[in-house]
Structure 1
Amino acid sequence: MNLAHFALNADDVPRSKAFYESVFGWKFTPWGPPGFHRIQTGPDHNPGVPGALQQRRLLLPDTPTTGAECTFTVLDLNATAETVRRAGGTLLTDRFTIEGVGHLIFFADPAGNPICAMQPTPGSP
């Protein structure tokens, strides 16, 4: 399992974008829904782990998501979902698909941290 993606949630996306551009020199590209930007953390020749800056959401009921959301690649998403349940985690979403990216689930670990597991679509970056 490898870290494939991270996401930062913000109430004021333009303010957070300006902050990370200033502090880390990250590049942002609008993509998808309003208030969503892809993050490039490194230079063009070595762009680093891909990220996203997005409007804050609730992955856990009644709990605004804070901190970084991490997405890890897995070989078999269905097997991972079953292992999450057996190991004491809680599925937060049903399996869903982002076309051209992969199949995903969000789950909470026993400490309540939201994590994403993704089975990439063959040929996706």
Structure 2
Amino acid sequence: MGNEVAFFEIGSDDPEALERFYGDVFGWTFTAGHGNPYSIIQTKGENGLALGGLWDSKVEENNPLPANYAVCVIRVEDVAKTCENVSAAGGTVIVPPMPSDDGAAIFAHLRDPSGNHIAVFHSEFTYEKGELF
């Protein structure tokens, strides 16, 4: 297990507007997620997995992330080691390894050498229908 794209995350300073937009356009639904303020995005995929998250970026002061972003999130075995590898390969650590609000995962946000935003996480949870991790 590891190094696969596990889900996507959208950050927004107006998450209610994005819930309406993505719900109207793609039929996605949103439910309260892990920690606050985070919503789980349920796409209409065949497997029924929740494949995304919507984060309310305006609630955290001194947030190092942009107010609005979309990012793929990669499951890794060791978040700290991945951050070291990213730095050694010319990337940048934006948010160093830290636990999720509910303690279920460790995550970090990164930039590749071209400036693209990516994120990594590690969690012992396995995929179950309707769950993000």
Under a length normalisation based on structure 2, what TM-score does the superposition of the two structures give? 0.75
Unaligned runs of 5+ in 2: 127-132
Give the residue type in structure 2 aligned to 1:108. Answer: R
8 Å CA contact retained: 2:83, 2:96: no
8 Å CA contact retained: 1:59, 1:65: no
Query: Runs (4+) of structure 1 moved beyond 3 Å?
Result: 56-60
Distance in 1 between residues matched to 2:108 and 2:81, nearest whole Å: 12
Q: What's the counterpart of residue 54 of structure 1?
A: 55
Give the residue type in structure 2 aligned to 1:25. Answer: G
How many residues were matched structurally?
Answer: 119
* Displacement of 1:102: 1.7
* Displacement of 1:29: 0.4
1:47-74 superposed Cα distances (whole Å, 9 cap, x missing partner): 24521122236545xxx35441111011
Distance in 2 between residues matched to 1:87 and 1:28, nearest whole Å: 36
Cα RMSD for the two superposed structures? 2.2
Unaligned runs of 5+ in 1: none
Under a length normalisation based on structure 1, what TM-score does the superposition of the two structures give? 0.79
8 Å CA contact retained: 1:9, 1:54: yes
Give the residue type in structure 1 aligned to 2:122. Answer: Q
Distance in 1 between residues matched to 2:104 and 2:51, nearest whole Å: 13
- Identity within the alignment, %: 33
Q: What's the counterpart of residue 75 of structure 1?
A: 77
The higher relative CO (CA closer than 8 Å, separation ≥ 6) is in 2
Distance in 2 between residues matched to 1:123 and 1:12, nearest whole Å: 29
Question: Quick one: structure 1 residues 113 and 65, their matched pair in 2 at CA, closer, same or farther if it must change by over 3 Å?
Answer: farther
